[in-house]
Structure 1
Amino acid sequence: MSPIRFTGMASGLDTEKMIKDLMKAQREPVNRLIRKKQTDEWKRDTYREMNKLLDELKKSVDAIRYSSNFKKKVTFSENDGVVSTKVSGIPQFSTYAVKVEKMAKAESPAGLSLQLDNVVDKSQPLGAKGIFTINGVDISIDVDDSISSINAKLAERSADNKALIEASFVNGSLVFTSKSGAELTETDPDDPSKKIFSVSFTADPDGTSGKVKISGNVNSSARTDGEKGIIYINGVKLETTTNLVSFDGIDFTIKGDNGGQVVNVNTKTDEDAIFNQIKGFVDKYNEVIEKVNAKISEPRYRSYKPLLDEEKEELPEKTAEKLEAMAKSGILLRDPILKSALDQMRYAISAPLKGSGVNEKFDTLSEIGIGGPPSGKYAYQENGKLYINETKLREAIRNNGEDVLKLFTNYSKSEDPTTKFNESGVAERLFSQLTKAMDKVTKEAGSSNIAFDDSAISRSIRDTDKEIERWEDRLKMIEDRYWKQFTAMEKAMSKFQSQGNWFAQMLGQK
């Protein structure tokens, strides 16, 4: 608690203001440290913003780093009414001959429905106590059991007894249906060739049927067995229980047999998907290098410094914001880490791809329609921005897909850094350069995702905090000394005034 000080009682001086003015000069080293800390924090945060941009580009590059992303295909059926298709993987053939000998026929399960009173969901207790006999299997239930718990008990018993019956809540009723493979215990009275199951409920002597409305045995509908389908794809015989067949990365949906006639399904490169993927990368690349270039070329206003808290309080809010923006501007002007990163990125996408099997006509991005700005006196201002010749790129994808794939995804196993770089595809090179650049930025400024930040800037901020603490202790001592000096002066003047008054009184008496 600060002591109460009475100042200027003898001298008439505004001691508090004088000490405050004296301390302003003494505080200047601390103010410099506070401004330095603020500058370091701005620099750290701006570095992290740049790292976030580089990470966004890295993720975009990662999407075109693998060959599977350049092997996307679309399919076309000659008779979509008989066979429709959807690509689910990477098809190997250009044509698939499909012949449907017999369509699969799904099993129609046996089922029955029991009326319930005032039940609104499957987790609500049914209030019944007793034994359900379902397909010859006894299931004990209590008043707290719900449809969900009954179903769990059925599932538990199914493994041993092959009851394979499940309970559901449908339209306010308790519905039992047979699963595929259920060994039903009874025959349909109307058609002995078909199987059914029955459900009965024996109430506990002390219990009640609760909300379940059942009297005696209730028979299910009859089950109709399914039939396997027989399909030939490129001569391979497939027996299936459904009319959806997956073969070599394609899902074939069988809709008819077409009299046993062959239906051809053709594949081709998904030009749009690959083009959009490459375009997405180019757009993100341009966005990131534009923002990074803007940051490292931002003007620096050295006469503007970070504002102290008391300075902010004395200024209108908008004025303070404007002055801080001027002080923050150019915080990464000509930054060597980011400038080097941009140079390495440009080199990674412009250097020709080398190695065995590389088509020299398609060993650079410019040869597939991705290059710099149109020539002109302002072209240099684009700072490495990429432009796409859509016609040329689509043509390369369509006619030289394997060469485009290599240009982006080629992977080198060489241990020699120079050879590895030359033999790596554009995406592989760029991914590597971005990783190195981000590591350098993280080493310099840390990351918000890392619990302990031992980056260079964060260490500097911690050192500054310690120095500020030392200075604050020193300033406290200096201020206390000033107060002691002024207090001593006041006491001396007060004593002098008292003596003067005594002499005046003595002279007045004479």
Structure 2
Amino acid sequence: MMDRMRFGGLSSGIDTHDMVDQMMRVERMRVDRFHQRSQTIQWRQEAAHDMNKRVAQFILDSRQNFGLNQVSYSGQLRASEVNRFDWIKSAQSSNEAAIRARADANAIEGNHEVKVNKRANVGSITSQSLKEKKIASEDGRSFDFGDDETRDLTIRVGDSLQTFTVENGSSISSLATRIRNATDDSGNSLGLNASYDANFGRMMITTRETGKEQHFQVMNTDLGSEMFSFDNDNEVEGLTTVHQASIGLDDYIDENGKLMEGTMLRINGDEYTIGNGDGEYSSLQEIMDQINKTEGFTAAYGNGVLMLSREEDGSGAFDVELNHEEINDGVITTITSDEMDVINRSGQDASIDFNGETITHHSNDISIFGINLNLEAGAQAEDVININVATDTDGMVEKIRGFVEDYNKLIDDVNEQLKAEEYRDYKPLTDEQRQAMSDNEVEMWEERAKSGLLRNDDSLSRMLQNLRVGMYEKVEGATGAFNQITQLGITTGNYQDGGKLVIDEDRLRDAINEDAEGVVNLLFKTSSEDDPAARRSESGLFQRMSDEMVSGMQDSVRRLGVGEHADKLRSVQGNMLVEFVTRNSGLSVSDRDIMSIDQQINRQEQMLMRREEQLWAQFTAMEKAMAEMNSQADSLQQQLMQL
């Protein structure tokens, strides 16, 4: 309809607007049919997208439930993941307060004797009472040094040196937070935890991980000497005396944060130079790595300071020379080490005797021969705990039953869509029809209109048929006693059930007791073949199911598009949408149909505009003619009246 205002019927008395609207309503029925076709396709797309989402979610949930958390980009199951299934075998501990045990599919069955020698621990240090040391406020919440000077706490972790500058009156808990969040110059966490208890006025610092490789040092400098005890008379654990030299490198660092080329360090005659020549080093890190390989010496860096240490072993002090020809006119700077007390804290490795053999590990979670042992706080030295590993028949039956139940629910959903009644008389409502109905009537109408949109859908029907066939095909190359799913007591029901699975649990238990590994192989065997037919024949049941479902989803995507679930589909198989995007430019058949219909709608709208213009022109011409005729009649009447 044209936008400009029109007046009609002034001469004829005819309601021109109503006449044109009535005539155009018939014309617009063709456009309404195009809109209805487009809406039906969009609804069909939404129904297909929802079904693809359900299929994808079934695959993802099944992988999660089975423990198949990693699948290759092309959808290939990883055999190593199958080996780590923790529902194939059970591990029973005779003392779960000491050891909790879990077994994966490769665990050696039988009874295993375990003796816990020691549990793994973190490295830790606890400060003295900051209140008693007179460096905390009365409520214990903030530092109170009695002056306005700052204090430094220096901690070394590996080759990273961290100095925490603390202001008088600052929160003590905030220092703990800074220690927890501290990183080295590369942005990597120092791996420390710290907490402060204001009631007791003490701070604890620990390594985050357990094991003897986890360690740190607290330096006897400034705030460190006030917070922690460095008194040899108190036999402080880990307290040692070292010779130490701190070298400021700020003037030798370039704009990229690296030690300038040509910088030379000489430590007791051993020379280290930054450069590209033979015998030179490309970075400060390389120099520190080399120093740390030197017996007795350690190096750490942080906040622009290189700290070199050597344990007090009778070797005495050492000298460090620093030089660069462009700094300080090339004059060599010499630093002589001083004695320094440090407190070393290291974690502890766990140690167990497993069937008489001593095993050490950095954590209390130890995996050996497919058995995972978690050492609990109740473990006592010299106690012998028996770990019995056996096939978990009940667990396997329950896991397979749960999978079959979920599969059957999905098959019900698919069959419901394939068999849903289609109400051909219920087309999408036009705007005019919608306005004439209540919200409840619209909802009920659209429920009928959307029914049966996937009735006899090719993609779903083909997927369902291939799933049925795949159930009965032998698995080529299967190891163990079984090569067909029916040998496990798993079959499809009668035809009316639409491909749902039925389990004979007695036969399944017998199969598991006969050859549990053979059951797992039949269900989860993988194939490295690229050819689909060869891959199918060599794949176990789960891989076959997944492949057929992926194929069905890909076919549906080609026809009806991806919708809002692209990420979920890629989670199932990383390359699922590659062909669709590259070959079809991300447009499905239905997308192109909608685009074609939209073009037809645009053409029809243009035709309607021209038709409406034509009708108005005709009525306007009629009104003009009638106006002239009325004018002539009035003139004639006036002439006759004058006679």
Equivalents in 1 of 2:103, 2:144: separation in Å?
44
User: Do residues 176 (structure 1) and 176 (structure 2) align?
Assistant: no
What amino acid is aligned across from residue 559 of structure 2 in structure 1? E
Aligned residue for 2:479, secondary structure, equals: coil
Equivalents in 2 of 1:224, 1:327: separation in Å?
73
Equivalents in 1 of 2:624, 2:359: separation in Å?
111
What's the offset of the Cα at 1:482?
0.8
What amino acid is aligned across from residue 233 of structure 1 in structure 2? F
Match of 2:359 in 1: 238
Equivalents in 1 of 2:477, 2:541: separation in Å?
13
What amino acid is aligned across from residue 75 of structure 1 in structure 2? A
Q: 2:461 aligns with which of 316, 334, 339?
A: 339
Aligned residue for 1:506, secondary structure, equals: helix
What's the offset of the Cα at 1:316?
2.7
What's the offset of the Cα at 1:428?
1.1
Distance 1:372 1:121, change over 3 A: farther
User: Do residues 483 (structure 1) and 616 (structure 2) align?
Assistant: yes
Match of 1:267 in 2: 389
Match of 2:444 in 1: 322
Matches within 5 A, 1:353-502: 353-355=475-477, 357-359=479-481, 362-373=482-493, 379-414=494-529, 417-449=532-564, 453-502=586-635
Distance 1:127 1:411, change over 3 A: farther
Q: 1:84 aligns with which of 99, 110, 120?
A: 99
Match of 1:111 in 2: 127
User: Do residues 130 (structure 1) and 149 (structure 2) align?
Assistant: yes
What's the offset of the Cα at 1:306?
1.6
Distance 1:415 1:508, change over 3 A: closer
User: Do residues 295 (structure 1) and 417 (structure 2) align?
Assistant: yes
Match of 2:19 in 1: 18
Q: 1:98 aligns with which of 113, 127, 130?
A: 113
Match of 2:167 in 1: 142
Equivalents in 2 of 1:128, 1:470: separation in Å?
86
% identity of equivalent residues = 27
Equivalents in 1 of 2:613, 2:145: separation in Å?
81
Deviations 1:399-453 (A, max 9, x none): 4211111111112344554443222111111111111111111111111245974
8 Å contact from structure 1 (residues 370, 386) kept in 2: yes
Equivalents in 1 of 2:145, 2:526: separation in Å?
64
Distance 1:129 1:292, change over 3 A: farther
> Which runs of 5 or more residues in structure 1 are unaligned?
198-221, 374-378
Distance 1:299 1:178, change over 3 A: closer
Distance 1:261 1:304, change over 3 A: closer
Q: 1:75 aligns with which of 60, 66, 91?
A: 91
8 Å contact from structure 1 (residues 70, 405) kept in 2: no
Equivalents in 1 of 2:457, 2:428: separation in Å?
20
8 Å contact from structure 1 (residues 168, 176) kept in 2: yes
Deviations 1:35-75 (A, max 9, x none): 11111111111111121122123224545555236553322
477-486 vs 110-119, greater mean Cα deviation: 110-119
Distance 1:291 1:80, change over 3 A: closer
What's the offset of the Cα at 1:480?
1.1
What amino acid is aligned across from residue 544 of structure 2 in structure 1? R
Task: Please give the root-mean-square deviation of Cα atoms over the aligned residues, in Å.
Answer: 4.0
8 Å contact from structure 2 (residues 140, 198) kept in 1: no
226-235 vs 381-390, greater mean Cα deviation: 226-235
Matched positions, count: 473
Aligned residue for 1:232, secondary structure, equals: strand
Distance 1:300 1:158, change over 3 A: closer
What's the offset of the Cα at 1:132?
3.2
Q: 1:311 aligns with which of 408, 419, 433?
A: 433
Match of 1:4 in 2: 5
Aligned residue for 1:441, secondary structure, equals: helix
Deviations 1:248-279 (A, max 9, x none): 44224274557x57543211233344333322
8 Å contact from structure 2 (residues 477, 538) kept in 1: yes
Equivalents in 2 of 1:88, 1:126: separation in Å?
56
Equivalents in 1 of 2:588, 2:480: separation in Å?
42
Equivalents in 2 of 1:157, 1:484: separation in Å?
81
Match of 2:293 in 1: none
Aligned residue for 2:460, secondary structure, equals: helix
8 Å contact from structure 1 (residues 127, 144) kept in 2: no
What amino acid is aligned across from residue 101 of structure 2 in structure 1? K
What's the offset of the Cα at 1:21?
1.2
Aligned residue for 1:404, secondary structure, equals: helix
Distance 1:125 1:441, change over 3 A: farther
Distance 1:165 1:293, change over 3 A: closer
Distance 1:224 1:125, change over 3 A: closer
Deviations 1:100-147 (A, max 9, x none): 48445967744323345598989x999984243668998542368544
Match of 1:212 in 2: none
User: Do residues 37 (structure 1) and 38 (structure 2) align?
Assistant: yes
334-343 vs 314-323, greater mean Cα deviation: 314-323
8 Å contact from structure 2 (residues 140, 201) kept in 1: no
